[in-house]
Structure 1
Amino acid sequence: MTRSNRGDKIDPREVQIVHTISRTTRACYLMGCVPGSDENYDHRKEWVDELIQRFAAQFAIDVLSFSVLSTHHHQLLRSRPDIVQTWDDTEVARRWLMICPKRKDKAGNALPPSEPELDTIRNCPIRVEELRLRLSDISWWMRLLNQRIAQRANREDDAGGRFFEDRFKGIPVIDEESVLACAVYVDLNWIRACMAETLELSEHTSAQRRIAAVDSEQQVTEPDDSAAESGNDASTRCHQSLPDSFLAPVDLCEANNPPGPQPSDSGARCSDKGFLSMSRLEYLELLDWSARQIRDGKRGRTPDDLPPILIRLGLSPTVWLKLIADFDDLFTTMAGLPEHIDQQRGKQTGRPFHVRKQTRELFAQAA
């Protein structure tokens, strides 16, 4: 079947959540240990991890979850054009020049742009609007990330040619049930691939980062009265140094947080807006529960301790475990409940999106 036009599904002018997948060419182990060989490229996973963190600090895109494996990487991203609109022309220019710098230090890190460098962008309104759009464009995020990984790997190998497949796969995720299932699916990739036995050992995943952040918070002591910094300053500094500081918060907190974009002052991510109606701890508990069901081969049983979030969403254990095990197979163009996908139309063609027969049958079981 011909792959759908990405522009028919993804628009950087809209707030959208998109599941992206990039695979190495011919599924070669170009980011891991090559089976039956002494070749090991595990260090390239760290390259992807570092770029995701750098981009999270500059793009108007929230990182909801990610995992980096030996032959591919997953990201669950949310475009934030509403955040871009809060930036003036100087901020747009500064951020783009931190992503695509004119100058770098000896370690290859971007140097803060000079005033003349900023002027080359902010003095041209057409260029500013072009870059404003790119900063919330998931396609540009993926293009630059994959390009830099490929160029760096080719230099290391003294080779040329493709590193990743032609195009990344981008699937919009349109409802709460599917956002939750996709986030869990992405975070459990190391366990499903038998690369780790626990979430804590699942390296280069958002799950490991969030667990490490919980551990770090529990170890933080309150500043004493003689501390030179205020309690708020200490809290801010602690937050910025947490392992998951570049990730979007889990809890949407719609009842407590003010409406609107909620731009972040942390410098590590573009916004402080969550993406699920549950706390970080509740999410990690659901992750742990789901990992145990998959690892122990218990998909067919109905556990007594079904997480409350699944009850609220009306998802049976059978449907839930099938979703997080086969998410990529169930959703090929758009992810969501079949009735929600049926209501969507292509942004350019106006055509409906295809829903696989097995996906309709799965959700029909839960009806």
Structure 2
Amino acid sequence: MPRPRTEQISVANTPFYHVISRCVRRTFLCGEDRATGRSYEHRRAWIEERIRLLASVFSMDVAAYSVMSNHYHLVIKLSPDDVQLWSDDEVLARWCCLHKGPMLVQRYQRGDELCGAEIQRVFQYADEFRARLGDLSWFMKCLNEPIARQANREDQCTGHFWESRFKSQPLDTEEALLSCMAYVDLNPVRAAIADTPESSAHTSIKERISPQFDLAEAIRKQTEQQSLNEFTVPLKPLLGFEGVIRKGFQRGILFGFEDYLELVDFTGRISRDDKRGAIDEKALPILERLNIDPGQWCERATRFEATYQDYRQSRRRRAA
């Protein structure tokens, strides 16, 4: 019998989780329907952009993702303690980026005059939203439900889009984390829809090595399509690679970015009987294919820390 979600997810044991969600009947509702020939490829972009939007609103970091034709994978780091640093006003603003919010909260945000009991109720709402913004189940609810509604509107139909609730798997060691991230980033290669990781689409590794990827513009289009409130929370980068253990708080992944790329490249060359694709054994090493020297990789790998500092400073300015 399945275990309750509260028993499957414990930040005290590990903050990292592998999450997977599949379309109903595992049909190609996000890719190309082989029966009708109709393409739904654009829906993969919906999911990718929604993932990155929610990662910036919730107290979670995305370490890896891949959006396939009939399912998607996520590697998420939960950071529930971050929610406690947010003021009530910031919590309300974040939640109302995604939802209209109760009328009382809307009046409070407009600056309407409220009595003491009404203000107390607003703070109770803030406490409820604070708990939700650190909860993986709410993250997935806010991800899957809007995508399902948008797809059903496009198809002019009703019914389930996702076959069931999401599946989650704890990643309680560094080896488990790295192997899962590589598995997620190599999904298009294993499915034989991409020859190499850098040529894949809608994956975290593609985003990491493609500086031209305009996430802000992508999310702006997403919010316009779904008629969401104006997005005012600073955009958060993917969880970065910190390379070495150092004193003090470490937020990122304790592995070098260059080393991770070589790990993915090496793993992708291994043929598997249960998978259709693999990286060509004759292909150049990934760093040579990308035509980037180690010095440039070092700069890109350490750029995450500066980017994240900019994000945190922007959040502090908003709170002040």
Q: Which residue of 2 aligns with 1:28?
A: 27
Q: Which residue of 1 aligns with 2:123?
A: 125
Gaps of 5+ in 1: 104-110, 217-239, 261-272, 299-304, 306-367
Q: Which residue of 1 aligns with 2:57?
A: 58
Quick one: distance in 2 between partners of 1:8 and 1:121? 35
Give 3-state SS (helix, strand or coil) of 2:197's partner: coil
Q: Which residue of 2 aligns with 1:280?
A: 257
Give 3-state SS (helix, strand or coil) of 1:247's partner: coil
What TM-score do you get using the length of structure 1 for normalisation? 0.62
Q: CA offsets per residue over residues 216-247 of structure 1, 9 Å max, x none?
A: 9xxxxxxxxxxxxxxxxxxxxxxx99xxx631
| Percent identical residues | 35
Residue 171 of structure 2: which of 170, 173, 176 is its match?
173
Deviation at 1:128, TM superposition (A): 1.9
| 2:50 counterpart letter in structure 1 | L
Deviation at 1:286, TM superposition (A): 1.1
Q: Against the structure 1 CA distance between its residues 126 and 290, is the aligned structure 2 distance closer, same or farther, given a 3 Å change threshold?
A: same
Is contact 1:211-1:284 (8 Å) kept?
A: no
| 2:49 counterpart letter in structure 1 | E
Q: Larger deviation: 92-101 or 73-82?
A: 92-101
Is contact 1:14-1:81 (8 Å) kept?
A: no
Give 3-state SS (helix, strand or coil) of 1:159's partner: coil
Gaps of 5+ in 2: 214-233, 272-277, 286-320
Deviation at 1:251, TM superposition (A): 2.0
Q: Which residue of 2 aligns with 1:259?
A: 249
Listed as ranges, the matches of 1:117-156 within 5 Å are 124-156=122-154
Q: CA offsets per residue over residues 27-63 of structure 1, 9 Å max, x none?
A: 0100001124321100000000110111111110110
Pair 1:162 & 2:160 matched: yes
Give 3-state SS (helix, strand or coil) of 1:83's partner: helix
Is contact 1:27-1:71 (8 Å) kept?
A: yes
Is contact 2:95-2:101 (8 Å) kept?
A: no
Give 3-state SS (helix, strand or coil) of 1:38's partner: coil
What TM-score do you get using the length of structure 2 for normalisation? 0.70
Q: Which residue of 1 aligns with 2:268?
A: 291
Q: Which residue of 1 aligns with 2:190?
A: 192
Give 3-state SS (helix, strand or coil) of 2:65's partner: strand
Q: Against the structure 1 CA distance between its residues 278 and 14, is the aligned structure 2 distance closer, same or farther, given a 3 Å change threshold?
A: closer
Q: Which residue of 1 aligns with 2:77?
A: 78
Residue 246 of structure 1: which of 237, 261, 276 is its match?
237
Quick one: distance in 1 between partners of 2:181 and 2:27? 25
Q: Against the structure 1 CA distance between its residues 182 and 114, is the aligned structure 2 distance closer, same or farther, given a 3 Å change threshold?
A: same
Give 3-state SS (helix, strand or coil) of 2:202's partner: coil
Deviation at 1:192, TM superposition (A): 0.7
CA RMSD, aligned part only? 2.9
Q: Against the structure 1 CA distance between its residues 97 and 147, is the aligned structure 2 distance closer, same or farther, given a 3 Å change threshold?
A: same
Q: Which residue of 2 aligns with 1:322?
A: none
Give 3-state SS (helix, strand or coil) of 2:184's partner: helix
Q: Please state which structure has a larger fraction of its residues in helix.
A: 2
Listed as ranges, the matches of 1:204-243 within 5 Å are 204-213=202-211
Quick one: distance in 2 between partners of 1:169 and 1:195? 24
Q: Which residue of 1 aligns with 2:40?
A: 41
Is contact 2:14-2:170 (8 Å) kept?
A: no
Quick one: distance in 1 between partners of 2:30 and 2:206? 19
Number of residue equivalences: 248
Deviation at 1:101, TM superposition (A): 3.6
Q: Against the structure 1 CA distance between its residues 137 and 64, is the aligned structure 2 distance closer, same or farther, given a 3 Å change threshold?
A: same
Is contact 2:195-2:280 (8 Å) kept?
A: no
Quick one: distance in 1 between partners of 2:77 and 2:36? 38
